Amino acid sequence: MAIEAKVSFLNQLENKLRTTTTAEMMTKFLATVSDVMEHYDLHEIPCEEMHDDLLQCYLDAMAVQGRSEKTIAYYKIVLQKMLKGINVSVRSITVYHLRRYLGEIKVTNNLMDSTLEGYRSVYCAFFRWLYREALISRNPADNLGTIKVPKVVKDVFSDVDMEMLRRSCEKVRDRAIVAFLASTGCRVSELCSLNRDQVDLNNRECVVHGKGDKERTVYMDSVTALLIRNYMETRKDRNEALFVTRTGARFLEGGIRDLMKRLEERSGVSHVHPHKFRRTFATNMARRGMPIQTIAKLMGHDKVETTMTYVVLYKEDTKYAYHHYYAS
């Protein structure tokens, strides 16, 4: 194995040098390298092992940077599939490999352009990091280019929708959950991880831990605080979680989504899911004139651009703003 690895190494080295040096110089150089290599054991690393090593280095760096476990797990799955699908050495991957692979999985898996763009951004982040760390000599994703995604205006809950959802709640716990999501703009993961001692009902605020375990304070209205207080008075369990299931266990994200699905069926409101409350919160705050920087802080966004993707402004909103600020 060592001899085969040595021969393979020298052959690759010869191919690299052929275009940059004379035959005489190359022969002397290879002879010198061969003599030095006699004192070392050389083993060729399979592509799979090299993939795993470089990928794990990147994932470790993400963890050190404070990226969430879910984000790291997502990147790992996407990158493992790409590396396996292309099946060449990481250092040999070119932009043509990436384009061909994206084209193949789009057709094979019938993927939307938005999904492909998400994958592309993961590839770019991975190869950009490898290049910055000098683990590859060039970044194959430099010229990959963005994938054009049609802009779709996502819906938000209207005032009528919110009232129908409230009326469809059969338990004070459910009304408290709906009110909490609507008035705080929290992520469903943040709601599920909340404990009782993190909520200050007197000051109507609580501390949540968002993506990357970043801590921030969110606020609620008086109705939400009252509903949570009433819900706490019905609790007989000792679970530290703010919201629990009927068995007394902490609510998981899947349980909240199941609850939303039941509310959708009872209320007749379409597309009821936790993230829609978050988008509605951002939109309502913007419509009422709250600065976008403040909305971003309340939602736990590092970039205002991210918050802007949550804000849904219709034609009547922009028309009103125009007449209010310019034509009044």
For residues 119 and 78, the answer to whether their CB atoms sit within 8 Å is yes
Reading the block at residue 72, the tokens are 């790291």
Region 133-147: mean pLDDT is: 88
Beta strands in the chain (DSSP E): 199-200, 205-209, 215-219
User: What pLDDT, on the 0 to 100 scale, is given for residue 326?
Assistant: 61
Confidence label for 174 from pLDDT (cuts 50, 70 and 90): very high
pLDDT at 324: 63
Q: What is the mean pLDDT of residues 135-151?
A: 85
What pLDDT was estimated at residue 1? Answer: 46
Q: Does pLDDT of 267 surpass 50? A: yes
Adjacent-strand bridge partners of 207: 217
The confidence score (pLDDT) of residue 214 equals 82
Beta bridge partners of 195: 241
Mean pLDDT of 288-302: 88
Interatomic CA distance for residues 140 and 128, integer angstroms: 9
What pLDDT score was predicted for residue 317? Answer: 61
Nearest-angstrom CA–CA distance, 296 and 319? 24
What percent of the chain is predicted at pLDDT more than 70? 83
DSSP assignment string, 102-121: HHHHHHHHT--HHHHHHHHH
pLDDT, mean of residues 62-88:
90
Would you say 136 and 130 are in contact if contact means Cβ atoms under 8 Å apart?
yes
Q: CA-CA distance, 84 to 72, in Å (whole number)?
A: 18
- Report whether 267 contacts 164 (CB < 8 A): yes
Check residue 153 and give its pLDDT.
Answer: 67
- For residue 172, the surrounding DSSP H or E stretch is helix 172-184
* Predicted pLDDT of residue 9: 64
pLDDT at position 101: 94
Is the pLDDT reported for residue 22 higher than 50?
yes
pLDDT given for residue 155 in this prediction: 85
Determine the average pLDDT of the residues in 296-315: 81
Q: Are strands 215-219 and 205-209 parallel, antiparallel or unpaired?
A: antiparallel
Which of 10-19, 153-162, 190-199, 318-327 bottoms out in mean pLDDT, i.e. has the lowest? 318-327
Q: 96 pLDDT exceeds 50?
A: yes
| Average pLDDT of span 181-199 | 94
Q: What is the mean pLDDT of the chain?
A: 86
- Span of 97-111, 128-142, 271-285, 313-327 with lowest mean pLDDT: 313-327
Instruction: Output DSSP code: residue 211.
Output: G
Q: Which residues of 134-164 are buried (b: 16+ CB within 10 A; e: fewer)?
A: eebeebbbeebeebeeeeeeeebbeeebbeb
Residue 316: pLDDT band (50, 70, 90) is low
